[in-house]
Structure formats: structure tokens, C-alpha cells
Structure 1
Amino acid sequence: MQKFLGWLERVLTPMAKVIGENKYLVAIRDGFLLSTPLLIVGSVFLLLANFPLPNWDTWMSNILGDNWAIMMSVPASASFDVMTILAVVGIAYSLGRQFKVDAMQAGIIALVSFFILTPYTTLFTPENSTAVYEVTSLPLKWMGSSGLFLGMIVALISTRLFVFILNKGWTIKMPEGVPPTVVKSFEALIPSFVVVFIMFIINWLVSLTSFGNLQDVIFQFLQTPLLSLGNTLGAMIIAYIFLHFFWFFGINGSSVVGAVFNPVLRALSVENLQAFKDGHEIPNIITGQFQDMFATFGGAGSTLSLILVMVIFCKSQRIKKLSQLSLVPGIFGINEPIIFGLPIVLNPLILIPFALVPTINIIISYFAMDWGLVPLTNGIQLPWTTPPIISGFLVSGWQGAVLQALLFVLGMFIYYPFIKVMDDQYLREEREAVEEESEEIDFDDFDFDDI
């Protein structure tokens, strides 16, 4: 067993280091964080406009008027419909900072590059008409989820070109005494021109094809297949097996696997959110909300179930005190005290339920939604610290809350025999420590005057 664990550590640790330190994956991860606060705020307004309670619409209409839901959805649209713009700027800014160049200039160039490759037309059909008109506009279709993958690619490529040209020294040098802002502007002039010119050539070449623009090419040949692959039970299970193996060796598996898998989940979530906002049928089972709200409770390994078993059934002082300290953080999705304090890291006994419970949660949740027993997640962006039951209710109605409760209890049953083995072991160690302490001779208790 020790040889096997050593081999896994030698294989997985370098892999995790490579992924975790990759500038481009880090840029994508950090770039999305730029839009996350706005998406959460927009989700709050969208949730209020579509709160899952009977007669909610009637009650709010009596208070705020008949158009209250439309007005409440405006902040949501203002954030969701331009999320690709925010992602482009954020990813380019993050990558520019890592290469130690003017990050703001990198973000601006990436945004302009994205607009160059985006068609400035929208198809419009007037009311009570069958005629379709092509209207010059900035199409929100490509500013939202549909343009996300091209946005990520353009942000990375344009910034890397910008960095390459700067490093070559192909810049305009200003004399000393010129204000730094002016120096930076002229320094970025030639690199900006080269990047824009390259994007112009790419757009012109694609316009000569039957597709007409690069947005349609990426959406059809890259984004759609990737989302189809990511929206499968097998992909989710494989991702989570790797995620928990990394955690087993003390490596943050959520960051390593998430760097690759989370962009796909985020795009799927946005598709659900758009459908929910428009009142259409929600398309995807596997999403970011599916992962956060139904695969794990209390962090990786769904350790909130483990913590409650520890609180209720374990008797050793070591486990009881650890569980009491870990309960409140675990409710809000923070489980490092359990990961490193129990420990789960390099503990083969707990590895089995640690990987098994989330896998079972994924399988049960997937089929519960596939069979129509539980509504698909609506794409509402909730903070990852939202406690279970509440989060299930907000993203999938009361059925989602019930499913979370059932999975939580099932996780307790799975964890119970494994943690009891550890608890019995710790109890024996504590008893042996007490016995050894009582057998020690304390010379302070002797009265040498009686000898």
C-alpha cells in the first residue's frame, strides 16, 4: 500500500503543479472572478422576480405594480447579457499581470479584438410580420453565453501577442520627462496596431467562407461539442474522481480540476440561466450549480455528512472536539479543518467514502433530474458558502431541498462505518494514554519523613 501511495503521489503532484501554475488556466479562473460579484447580484434580482413560492407574483404585483417583474429583471439582464465582455477583460487583465505588462491595456486590446471578430448585425422580425431584417447592432447573443468560448480564446491570444511584441522591443520610445501615462500609451501603440491588424485579417479570411464570422465557427465546432461532452454523467464522475485523488494528497483538487472543467460548467449554467430568464425549458442537467449544490455538501467529499456523524456518534475526544470546531465552517462549505485535521489527507481508510459519497450524489441527482423528479438547476448564481437545503430550494425548488436532505442522510450512512473504525482506534489510544499516565510514579506524593 505504501508503495502504491508513493507512486500516486509522484505522479499526481507534478501534474497538479503544472496545472495549478499554468498562466493561461490561472487567467481564465481569475478572469471569471471579475464577473462573479455582478452575476451574483444579478441573480438576486432574477430570483426575486421568479421566487419559487405560490402566489408570489400576485403578492408582489399588489405591492409594486403589474410591471414589477420586468423592472426587477433589468439588473439581471445588465449583468448576464454582457458577461462575455467582462470575462474577456478579466482574463486578459489577469494574463497581462502575470506577464508583468500593462494589464489594463491588455484588457482593452482583448476587448477590441473580440469586437472585431463579432458580427455587428442582429436578425429582427417586426411584430405581425414574417419578414426578417438584418439590423446593424451589437448583438447581445454573442455578448452573453454564446460568445464565451471565443471571448476566452481571443483574450488569451491577443494578450500573448501583445506581450510577445513588447518583449521584442517593437515599441515607440519616449524621451525622459514625459509623464508615465503618456509613455505607456505610446509604448502600446505598435503592439496594439499589430494585434488589431492580425484580428482584422482573421475576420476578413473567415468572412470569405460560408460561415461569415468566427463566432459561428467557434460556436458550432468547439463550444457546442465541448458543452455536450461536459454535460454528461461520465465526464462529471471522471472529473470528481480526479478531484478527490488530488485532495487525498493534500493538493487542492477543486482548483486543479476546476481550472479545466469549471469554464465548461459555467457556460452550461449560463445557458440554463438564460432559458430560466426567458421562460423557456431549461436544457442542461450538469452545470456549476449541479456541482456545487448536489455533488458536495460542506466541501470536497461532501464532508458535512461526515461531520454530523462525528458530532452524533463518535466518542473519542479527538474526533468530538474536531467535529465541534468544524461544524459551523462545514455548513458554509469550508472543510479544511476536516481535510487536514482528521486527517483525510493520506488516510486510505477515509479515501473510500471521501470519493464514493460525491460520486453517489452525482449519480442519484443526475437521474432524479433526468426522470423529472427534481427540476433542473435554474442557473441562479449563489455564493458557494450558501448552506444546503437553502441552496437546493433556491436553484431547484422544494424538490431540490428534499433531494439535498436525502443525499445528506445517505452520506452519513456511508461515512458511519469508516469513521467509527477511526473513532474506536482513537478511543483505544486515549485509554492507553490515561493508563500510562496513572502508572507513572509521582515522587511528590512520597513523604520521606515516614521512611
Structure 2
Amino acid sequence: MSFQTMNEKIEKHILPIANKLSSQRHLRAIRDAFISLLPITLMGGVTAVISAAPVTEETTNGFLLAWASFVQQNSMLLNWISALTLGGMSIYVCIAITYYLTRHFKHDFLVPAMLSVCGFLMLVMTPQQLGWDGKVVEISYMDGKGILPAILISILTVEAYHFMRSHDWGRINLPPSVPASLSETFASLVPGFVIISGYVAIFAIFHAFDTTFPEFIYTSMAPSLQAADSLLFIVIMTLLVHFFWFFGIHDAALSGILAPIRDGNLSINVAAKAAGEALPHVFTTPFWVYFVAIGGCGSLLALAILLVRSKSKQLKTVGRIGIIPAFFGIGEPIVFGVPVMLNPYYLIPFLCASTFNAIVSFVLMESNIIGRTFAMLSWQMPNIPGAFLSTMDIKAMFLVCGLLVVDILIYYPFFKMHEKQCVAMELETEDEEE
């Protein structure tokens, strides 16, 4: 099968599916919700780095010892910030998904948001003591472990609210002279009462069986969640994301599926780090950003380095323009400037470079040779410092440098073939102009 034939088949059969995934309202709301959490995750990531002073019993460096002393003296404050940022990720996800779905249905945001938060607090928090003198609740599922319940609660709330409002269930009509805000509140009374009653019933059922909604979900889905943090899953997802990207389908098309897994695992790792326990997960957002996609999807920093020294004027120009963005994880100038997209010369290295990075990084982290990630600083953080700051393991920096060298070797033969073609075309154009 020729490349042209394969391209035509993909455009006919796969492209419509990918477009539906990227435009499906729930997946789009989930994707946008996780993107909107960047200020929260950034603050949580910075706090996690500050809290992880790299000291041992043999450490004598004055700066590191002062750092560790600061952390010890301010541990309560740092842990509280962590608990309310990455440790409270689920409630922010719930609010954000509710916002994007209500915007899709063109409803006012306030009432559905309050209903979603009410449902989240009722089903995800576990009351321990409810008395006049004080209330004690268990909030351990507010971190990454509560993301799946948060997604379900927000979607169920908005869909139920939209259905009842669009069918005027229990709508109380008020005179036109009544302010619009008050009229909207009365129109939401019955839908709100029905939705909250539903959450009360769900809580009562799980409480009767001495369990909780999140605990039931994670017990039922434990095999699937464990599989999502496996080498096979990571390889399949890496190949799938890059295969779509090669044909012009942005990786955001799959982020509605991958973001809850990656960010949820990151939040759980943060909680484990704060508790001084072993980090349980490898597949997190910083794992993907700093170790897999070195220079953006396709690990294009390697290709950018090759382009800078290209014999082709066109490729050298693209390389000089694209190498700085690639250094900060932005590969689009290379993807569309070379172009890499739909270029048969680059299909194999585009798929293989990041997949190789994923395999090596996963194996080394799973074997505890390289520290696992627990902090996400920024999507645009360069890979080498990002690898260190996300793990606080100096070996992670050397790993990324080694992966970059191998990525260059993977791209090199395919780059040379493309370069040869470009140089020939440039010489032919010059001859014609003469």
C-alpha cells in the first residue's frame, strides 16, 4: 500500500472518528477543564518542589540544610497549600466541567455549579463526626482519586439540569416585572431539588453498605486503572497520539481521555510524596511532558537540532525559527514548517522517537532507577530542568539528555533523505532562474 493510499484511507475512515472525539461535548469539556486548571497545578507543583528538599543524613551543604530547615518549620503551611491545590484537584475539575457543559447548553452557570459542588461534597467527602461543637470529614478522595467521581457528578448534574429545564419541569412562572435573576432562581427550584435528592439517595445507598461512591468506583475499576499505568497502555497511547498528530489531528483530541488519568496519577503521587510514602504511579502529566514528548509531540527538539545545520536553505531556516519554541516544548513550527505532518519521510521517526522515550523512561522509573514524577511546573518548561524539578532526581536530567541523543540518531537517516530531496529541488530552482 502506497503512502498516498494510506493517507486517503485514514482521511476517509479515521479522521471522522477523531473529529467526533474532539468535538464530543463531554470529552471537550473534560479537556478544557484540565487545561483551565493550570494555575492550580502550577502552584501545587511549585509547592511540591519546595517541600522536597534534596537532603540525606550525609548532606553538609549549607544551602540544602537551610532549605530542609525551612520546609520543616513550615511543613503545615506547605502541606495545606498542597492539600488545597493538587490535593483538591477533583473539586476544581468538577466545577470546571460544569462550567464548560453549561456554556455548551447556554445556561447560567451559578445554579448548576452549586448543585455539582453539593453533589461532590455529599458523595466524595465522608462524614466522620457531625455535631454542634464541630464537624469532621474525610477528604482523602478530593485529590486525583476523586477525579472520576467528579467527572461523573458534573456531567450527570448538567445533563439532568438541562433536561429538566428544557422540558420546563416544575417551572414557576413569575410576572415580567420580577428581576431576571430571581425568575431564574425560581425556575431552578424543582430541578435543583430533584438533583440534590438524587445525590442524597446515592449517598444513603452506599452508606448503608458501609462504603462510599468513590471507593465503589475504584474497587470496581481497579484492574482497568492499574492497566492504565502499564507499559503496554503507555506505548499504545503514545503511538495513537502521534499517529493522529502526523495526520494533522492535534493531541488535544485524546486529552479528554488521557488528562484525567495523567493528572489523577500526578495528584496521587503528590499526596504520597507529602506523606513520605513511595510514589505509586509512573504515567503522569510531567512524565509525558518532560520525558516522552521532548520538544513537543514527536520529540521534535531532536529534529530541530538537525535542521539548524542542514545543507538545505529551507530546512535550515525552519530549524532556526523552530529550535527555540521546541526547546520550550512547542513543536508546531517544525510540524508545519518542514513540514513533518503528512511527510512520508518522517512517519517512522515521528512515531518511534517518543515511543522509545516512553519505554525507556517507564522501565527506569518502574525499576526505581530514576525517581518518579510528583510536580508539574509548566507545559513550556524545558525538558532537562523540568525532568529534574518534577522528580528532584539529578539522574533524570541525564536521562533526558541521553534520550535526546537517541532521538537525534532516530531522526538522522530520515532527515538526510529529506534534506537530499530539498537540496536537489533548490538547485533545480536556481538553475531554472538562471
- The two structures share one fold, judged by TM-score above 0.5: yes
Number of equivalences: 421
Q: How does 1:275-354 map to 2 (within 5 A)?
A: 275-312=272-309, 314-354=310-350
Q: Measure, in 2, the Cα distance between the counterparts of 1:120 and 1:180.
A: 37
Match of 1:184, as an amino acid?
Answer: E
Matched residue, 1:448: none
Q: Measure, in 2, the Cα distance between the counterparts of 1:436 and 1:146.
A: 65
How far off is 1:343 after superposition?
0.9
How far off is 1:278 after superposition?
1.3
SS in 2 for 1:137: strand
Check whether the contact 1:52–1:394 (CA below 8 A) recurs between aligned residues.
no
Matched residue, 2:172: 172
Matched residue, 1:144: 143
Q: How does 1:154-169 map to 2 (within 5 A)?
A: 154-169=153-168
Return closer, same or farther for 1:389/1:119 CA change in 2, 3 Å cut-off: closer
TM-score norm. by structure 2 comes to 0.92
Question: Given the alignment, which residue of 225, 228, 242 partners 1:227?
Answer: 225
Matched residue, 2:7: 5
Check whether the contact 2:298–2:354 (CA below 8 A) recurs between aligned residues.
yes
SS in 1 for 2:308: helix
Q: Measure, in 1, the Cα distance between the counterparts of 2:147 and 2:415.
A: 44
**Structure 1 runs of 4+ with >4 Å offset:** 53-57
Return closer, same or farther for 1:61/1:212 CA change in 2, 3 Å cut-off: closer
Q: Measure, in 1, the Cα distance between the counterparts of 2:65 and 2:201.
A: 55
Matched residue, 1:114: 120
Check whether the contact 2:144–2:266 (CA below 8 A) recurs between aligned residues.
no
Q: Measure, in 2, the Cα distance between the counterparts of 1:147 and 1:69.
A: 24
Higher relative contact order (CA 8 A, sep 6+): 2
1:97-147, Cα deviation, whole Å (9 max, x unpaired): 111111222111111112232453349xxxxxxxxxxx9523221222222
Question: Given the alignment, which residue of 21, 25, 28 partners 1:26?
Answer: 28
* Structure 2 gap segments, 5+ residues each: none
Return closer, same or farther for 1:65/1:288 CA change in 2, 3 Å cut-off: closer
TM-score norm. by structure 1 comes to 0.89
Question: Given the alignment, which residue of 368, 378, 395 partners 1:399?
Answer: 395
How far off is 1:268 after superposition?
1.1
Check whether the contact 1:230–1:265 (CA below 8 A) recurs between aligned residues.
no
Q: Measure, in 2, the Cα distance between the counterparts of 1:106 and 1:148.
A: 18
Q: Measure, in 2, the Cα distance between the counterparts of 1:207 and 1:69.
A: 34
Question: Given the alignment, which residue of 88, 96, 105 partners 1:82?
Answer: 88
Matched residue, 2:51: 49
Check whether the contact 1:105–1:188 (CA below 8 A) recurs between aligned residues.
yes
Q: Alpha carbon RMSD of aligned pairs, Å?
A: 1.9
Match of 1:201, as an amino acid?
Answer: A
Matched residue, 1:236: 234
Check whether the contact 2:91–2:150 (CA below 8 A) recurs between aligned residues.
yes
SS in 2 for 1:117: helix
Question: Given the alignment, which residue of 354, 375, 380 partners 1:380?
Answer: 375
SS in 2 for 1:173: coil
How far off is 1:293 after superposition?
1.1
Identical-residue share of aligned pairs (%): 27
1:291-346, Cα deviation, whole Å (9 max, x unpaired): 1111111111000011001113x111000001000011111111111111111111
Bigger radius of gyration among the two: 1
SS in 1 for 2:149: helix
Q: Measure, in 1, the Cα distance between the counterparts of 2:219 and 2:48.
A: 29
How far off is 1:42 after superposition?
2.4
1:226-259, Cα deviation, whole Å (9 max, x unpaired): 321210111111111111111121110x111222
How far off is 1:211 after superposition?
4.1
* Structure 1 gap segments, 5+ residues each: 124-134, 439-451
Matched residue, 1:269: 266
Q: Measure, in 2, the Cα distance between the counterparts of 1:106 and 1:388.
A: 40
Check whether the contact 1:311–1:323 (CA below 8 A) recurs between aligned residues.
yes
Q: Measure, in 2, the Cα distance between the counterparts of 1:282 and 1:65.
A: 20
Match of 2:98, as an amino acid?
Answer: A
